[in-house]
Amino acid sequence: MLEIAKEEMEHFKMVHDIILQRGYKFGREEKDDYVNELFKFMRRGESHALSRVDRLLFAAMIEARSCERFKVLSDNVKDEELAKFYRDLMESEAGHYTTFLKFAKNMGRC
Ligand SMILES: [Fe+2]
């Protein structure tokens, strides 16, 4: 988990650097309807173990969605530098969602 958190922060810095290098300003974070709607499906009042499995599956879906979006971007953007950057992020996100799924499966066995 710590490795994923470190990687996410590195990605954030990389994105921030690219935004600045290209002369753009970093905007305010906007609410993500997909995330908010998905969060509503999280079970409440369940055992600690079930709640943890839900959180892991929630995280896995968020990461898988990112992976899918980076795939579409890397396949379609004309800028080669960005295409490679998005491809690298896609691979990283694939590692994240599979890690969360693995943790959820292991929790389900407890
Ligand atoms: Fe991620």
Q: What is the pLDDT of residue 47?
A: 85
Task: Report the distance separating Cα 33 and Cα 25, nearest Å.
Answer: 23
Question: What pLDDT sits at residue 66?
Answer: 95
Using CA atoms in the order 64, 70, 74, 79, what is the torsion angle rounded to 10 degrees?
A: -170
In a domain? residue 16: no
Instruction: Find the 11 Cα to ligand 1 centroid distance in Å.
Output: 9
pTM of the full predicted structure?
0.86
pLDDT at residue number 108: 66
DSSP at 110: -
Helix pair angle (48-76, 80-108), 10° resolution: 160
- 23 lies in some domain: no
Domain that holds residue 65: 31-108
Q: Is 63 part of a structural domain of the chain? A: yes
Digit-coded pLDDT (tens) for 40-49: 988 887 788 8
CATH number at residue 62: 1.20.1260.10
Query: Rounded to whole angstroms, how far apart are CA atoms 106 and 110?
Result: 7
Q: Measure 79 CA to ligand 1 centroid, in angstroms.
A: 23
Centroid of ligand 1 to alpha carbon of 92 (angstroms): 7
pLDDT beneath 50: ranges in the chain: none
Q: What is the number of domains present in the chain?
A: 1
Distance from residue 34's CA to the centre of ligand 1 (Å): 16
Ligand 1 centre to CA of 37 (Å) is 19
pLDDT tens for 11-31 read: 999 999 999 999 999 888 889
Query: 3-class DSSP state for residue 20?
Result: helix
